[in-house]
Amino acid sequence: MEWFSKSMVDDETTMLTEPFVHDYVRANIWHLRGRDADLLVDTGMGIRPLAPEIETSRGKPLLVVATHIHLDHVGSLHEFPWRAGPRMSAAQFENMDEAATYAYMFHDLEGAVSKLPEPGWKAADYKIPSAPLTRTLDEGDVIDLGDRQFRVLHLPGHSPDSIALFDEADGLFFSGDAIYDDTLIDSLPDSDRAAYIGTMRRLLDLPIRIGHGGHGPSFDGERMRAIATAYLRLHVGL
Protein backbone atom coordinates (compact mmCIF):
# COMPACT_ATOMS: atom_id res chain seq x y z
CA MET A 1 0.00 0.00 0.00
CA GLU A 2 1.02 3.63 -0.44
CA TRP A 3 1.71 4.71 3.14
CA PHE A 4 3.51 7.98 2.41
CA SER A 5 2.41 11.03 0.51
CA LYS A 6 5.03 13.00 -1.42
CA SER A 7 5.06 16.53 -2.74
CA MET A 8 7.75 18.38 -4.65
CA VAL A 9 8.46 21.69 -2.96
CA ASP A 10 11.06 22.83 -5.50
CA ASP A 11 13.71 21.30 -7.76
CA GLU A 12 15.80 20.16 -4.77
CA THR A 13 13.22 19.49 -2.07
CA THR A 14 10.59 16.81 -1.49
CA MET A 15 8.26 16.66 1.51
CA LEU A 16 6.86 13.35 2.69
CA THR A 17 4.16 12.75 5.28
CA GLU A 18 2.15 9.81 6.63
CA PRO A 19 -1.46 10.77 5.86
CA PHE A 20 -3.01 7.78 7.66
CA VAL A 21 -1.31 8.58 10.98
CA HIS A 22 -3.14 10.58 13.67
CA ASP A 23 -2.53 14.28 13.08
CA TYR A 24 -0.94 14.66 16.53
CA VAL A 25 2.03 12.59 15.33
CA ARG A 26 1.86 13.24 11.59
CA ALA A 27 5.22 14.88 11.03
CA ASN A 28 6.88 16.32 7.96
CA ILE A 29 9.88 14.53 6.46
CA TRP A 30 12.15 16.67 4.28
CA HIS A 31 14.48 15.37 1.56
CA LEU A 32 16.91 17.94 0.15
CA ARG A 33 19.18 17.05 -2.74
CA GLY A 34 22.68 18.54 -2.53
CA ARG A 35 25.62 18.47 -4.90
CA ASP A 36 27.85 16.11 -2.90
CA ALA A 37 25.35 14.67 -0.41
CA ASP A 38 21.63 14.60 0.21
CA LEU A 39 19.94 15.55 3.45
CA LEU A 40 16.92 13.91 5.07
CA VAL A 41 15.43 15.82 7.99
CA ASP A 42 13.46 13.55 10.35
CA THR A 43 12.03 10.12 9.54
CA GLY A 44 8.42 9.92 10.69
CA MET A 45 6.87 7.16 12.78
CA GLY A 46 8.58 4.12 11.27
CA ILE A 47 5.29 2.24 10.85
CA ARG A 48 6.20 1.42 7.25
CA PRO A 49 9.73 1.45 5.74
CA LEU A 50 10.82 4.93 4.69
CA ALA A 51 14.17 4.19 3.02
CA PRO A 52 12.64 2.75 -0.21
CA GLU A 53 10.74 6.02 -0.66
CA ILE A 54 13.87 8.18 -0.71
CA GLU A 55 15.30 8.57 -4.20
CA THR A 56 19.00 9.45 -4.20
CA SER A 57 21.61 9.52 -6.94
CA ARG A 58 23.69 6.37 -7.11
CA GLY A 59 26.76 6.64 -4.92
CA LYS A 60 25.74 9.93 -3.29
CA PRO A 61 25.68 9.74 0.52
CA LEU A 62 22.50 10.54 2.43
CA LEU A 63 22.83 12.25 5.80
CA VAL A 64 19.78 11.78 7.99
CA VAL A 65 19.27 14.32 10.77
CA ALA A 66 16.87 13.80 13.67
CA THR A 67 15.85 17.21 15.00
CA HIS A 68 14.94 15.63 18.36
CA ILE A 69 14.16 12.20 19.77
CA HIS A 70 10.35 12.21 19.83
CA LEU A 71 8.61 9.26 18.18
CA ASP A 72 7.21 11.08 15.14
CA HIS A 73 10.69 12.19 14.09
CA VAL A 74 12.86 9.10 14.67
CA GLY A 75 10.72 6.07 13.79
CA SER A 76 12.66 5.10 10.66
CA LEU A 77 16.06 6.45 11.67
CA HIS A 78 17.45 2.94 12.06
CA GLU A 79 16.93 2.28 8.33
CA PHE A 80 19.74 4.66 7.35
CA PRO A 81 23.49 4.18 7.91
CA TRP A 82 24.52 7.83 8.26
CA ARG A 83 22.57 9.15 11.26
CA ALA A 84 23.01 12.49 13.00
CA GLY A 85 21.14 14.00 15.93
CA PRO A 86 21.49 16.13 19.05
CA ARG A 87 24.48 15.38 21.23
CA MET A 88 22.32 16.09 24.29
CA SER A 89 20.17 13.00 23.70
CA ALA A 90 22.75 10.81 21.92
CA ALA A 91 22.75 8.14 24.62
CA GLN A 92 18.98 7.73 24.32
CA PHE A 93 19.20 6.96 20.60
CA GLU A 94 21.11 3.82 21.61
CA ASN A 95 17.97 2.16 22.96
CA MET A 96 15.12 4.53 22.03
CA ASP A 97 13.88 4.61 25.60
CA GLU A 98 10.12 5.19 25.51
CA ALA A 99 10.44 7.73 28.31
CA ALA A 100 12.39 9.87 25.83
CA THR A 101 10.58 9.05 22.58
CA TYR A 102 7.03 9.01 24.05
CA ALA A 103 6.29 5.92 21.98
CA TYR A 104 4.05 4.74 24.83
CA MET A 105 1.66 7.63 24.10
CA PHE A 106 0.92 6.09 20.70
CA HIS A 107 -0.05 2.72 22.16
CA ASP A 108 -3.38 3.97 23.50
CA LEU A 109 -3.97 6.87 21.11
CA GLU A 110 -7.56 6.70 19.89
CA GLY A 111 -7.62 6.60 16.11
CA ALA A 112 -3.84 6.12 15.96
CA VAL A 113 -4.15 5.29 12.25
CA SER A 114 -7.04 5.74 9.84
CA LYS A 115 -5.92 2.79 7.71
CA LEU A 116 -4.05 -0.31 8.81
CA PRO A 117 -0.54 -0.48 7.37
CA GLU A 118 -0.83 -4.27 7.22
CA PRO A 119 -3.32 -6.90 8.40
CA GLY A 120 -3.26 -7.44 12.15
CA TRP A 121 -1.24 -4.31 12.91
CA LYS A 122 -1.88 -2.88 16.39
CA ALA A 123 -0.77 0.44 17.83
CA ALA A 124 -0.16 -1.34 21.14
CA ASP A 125 2.71 -3.24 19.49
CA TYR A 126 4.45 -0.12 18.19
CA LYS A 127 8.17 0.04 18.96
CA ILE A 128 11.06 2.15 17.68
CA PRO A 129 14.25 0.21 16.91
CA SER A 130 17.58 1.34 18.28
CA ALA A 131 19.39 3.84 16.05
CA PRO A 132 22.77 4.84 17.53
CA LEU A 133 23.96 8.14 16.10
CA THR A 134 26.98 8.11 13.82
CA ARG A 135 27.39 11.88 14.27
CA THR A 136 26.32 14.12 17.12
CA LEU A 137 25.35 17.73 16.56
CA ASP A 138 25.79 20.78 18.76
CA GLU A 139 25.07 24.47 18.42
CA GLY A 140 27.29 25.94 15.71
CA ASP A 141 28.19 22.69 13.95
CA VAL A 142 28.02 22.74 10.15
CA ILE A 143 26.46 20.21 7.78
CA ASP A 144 28.06 20.55 4.34
CA LEU A 145 26.25 19.23 1.27
CA GLY A 146 28.85 20.67 -1.11
CA ASP A 147 26.75 23.40 -2.65
CA ARG A 148 25.21 24.57 0.63
CA GLN A 149 26.01 24.48 4.31
CA PHE A 150 23.66 24.37 7.26
CA ARG A 151 24.46 25.76 10.68
CA VAL A 152 23.08 23.76 13.60
CA LEU A 153 21.01 25.80 16.06
CA HIS A 154 20.05 24.45 19.49
CA LEU A 155 16.49 25.68 20.06
CA PRO A 156 15.08 24.06 23.22
CA GLY A 157 11.57 24.39 24.61
CA HIS A 158 9.40 21.83 22.86
CA SER A 159 12.06 19.37 23.95
CA PRO A 160 15.44 19.95 25.60
CA ASP A 161 17.34 18.51 22.63
CA SER A 162 15.54 20.30 19.77
CA ILE A 163 17.85 21.43 16.99
CA ALA A 164 17.27 23.17 13.66
CA LEU A 165 19.33 23.62 10.50
CA PHE A 166 19.88 27.05 8.95
CA ASP A 167 21.53 27.89 5.64
CA GLU A 168 22.94 31.31 6.47
CA ALA A 169 23.75 32.09 2.83
CA ASP A 170 20.36 31.15 1.39
CA GLY A 171 17.96 31.60 4.32
CA LEU A 172 16.59 28.04 4.12
CA PHE A 173 15.55 26.82 7.56
CA PHE A 174 14.62 23.31 8.69
CA SER A 175 13.09 24.02 12.08
CA GLY A 176 11.91 20.65 13.38
CA ASP A 177 9.53 21.26 16.27
CA ALA A 178 11.32 24.39 17.47
CA ILE A 179 8.76 26.38 15.50
CA TYR A 180 6.17 25.46 12.88
CA ASP A 181 2.91 26.82 11.50
CA ASP A 182 0.49 24.84 13.66
CA THR A 183 -0.35 24.47 17.35
CA LEU A 184 2.97 24.55 19.23
CA ILE A 185 3.37 21.87 21.89
CA ASP A 186 5.02 23.02 25.12
CA SER A 187 3.26 20.77 27.66
CA LEU A 188 5.10 17.46 27.30
CA PRO A 189 6.97 16.10 30.32
CA ASP A 190 10.30 17.30 28.90
CA SER A 191 9.03 20.63 27.55
CA ASP A 192 10.36 23.83 29.10
CA ARG A 193 8.27 26.95 28.58
CA ALA A 194 11.00 29.30 29.82
CA ALA A 195 13.44 27.79 27.32
CA TYR A 196 10.80 28.03 24.59
CA ILE A 197 10.37 31.74 25.33
CA GLY A 198 14.12 32.16 24.84
CA THR A 199 13.96 30.25 21.57
CA MET A 200 11.11 32.43 20.29
CA ARG A 201 13.05 35.58 21.14
CA ARG A 202 16.05 34.25 19.27
CA LEU A 203 13.96 33.37 16.22
CA LEU A 204 12.60 36.91 15.95
CA ASP A 205 16.01 37.96 14.64
CA LEU A 206 16.75 34.96 12.42
CA PRO A 207 16.82 36.13 8.77
CA ILE A 208 15.08 33.16 7.15
CA ARG A 209 13.80 33.09 3.58
CA ILE A 210 11.67 29.98 3.89
CA GLY A 211 11.11 27.63 6.83
CA HIS A 212 10.19 23.96 6.63
CA GLY A 213 8.85 22.81 9.99
CA GLY A 214 8.25 19.47 11.62
CA HIS A 215 4.48 19.95 11.23
CA GLY A 216 2.17 22.20 9.26
CA PRO A 217 2.84 24.18 6.09
CA SER A 218 6.08 25.95 5.23
CA PHE A 219 6.41 29.61 6.20
CA ASP A 220 8.38 32.73 5.34
CA GLY A 221 10.23 35.03 7.72
CA GLU A 222 7.25 37.30 8.30
CA ARG A 223 5.05 34.36 9.24
CA MET A 224 7.71 32.90 11.53
CA ARG A 225 8.02 36.19 13.39
CA ALA A 226 4.23 36.31 13.72
CA ILE A 227 4.18 32.79 15.24
CA ALA A 228 7.00 33.64 17.64
CA THR A 229 5.44 36.97 18.60
CA ALA A 230 2.07 35.34 19.29
CA TYR A 231 3.75 32.81 21.60
CA LEU A 232 5.60 35.57 23.45
CA ARG A 233 2.44 37.66 23.83
CA LEU A 234 0.64 34.66 25.27
CA HIS A 235 3.31 33.80 27.81
CA VAL A 236 5.15 37.02 28.64
CA GLY A 237 2.78 39.72 27.44
CA LEU A 238 5.10 41.03 24.74
Reply yes or no on whether the pLDDT at 204 is more than 90.
Answer: yes
Confidence of residue 45 (pLDDT cuts 50, 70, 90): very high
Residue ranges per structural domain of the chain = 5-236
Reply yes or no on whether the pLDDT at 238 is more than 60.
Answer: no
**pTM: predicted TM-score of the whole model, two decimal places:** 0.96
Query: For residues 9 and 200, what is the distance between their CA atoms, to the nearest angstrom?
Result: 26
Predicted confidence at residue 58, as pLDDT, reads 74
Give 73-125 pLDDT, tens digit per residue. Answer: 999 999 999 999 999 999 999 999 999 999 999 998 999 999 999 999 999 99
Reply yes or no on whether the pLDDT at 30 is more than 60.
Answer: yes
How far is CA 134 from each of CA 44, 131, 140, rounded to the nearest angstrom?
A: 19, 9, 18
The correct CATH number of 5-236 out of 2.40.50.140, 3.60.15.10, 3.40.50.10800, 3.30.420.40 is: 3.60.15.10
Predicted confidence at residue 12, as pLDDT, reads 94
**Sheet of 62-65, strands arranged across:** 5-8, 13-17, 29-33, 38-41, 62-65, 83-86, 135-137
Give 212-221 pLDDT, tens digit per residue. Answer: 999 999 999 9
| Region of residue 146 (left: phi > 0; alpha: psi -120 to 50; beta: else) | left
Reply yes or no on whether the pLDDT at 56 is more than 90.
Answer: no
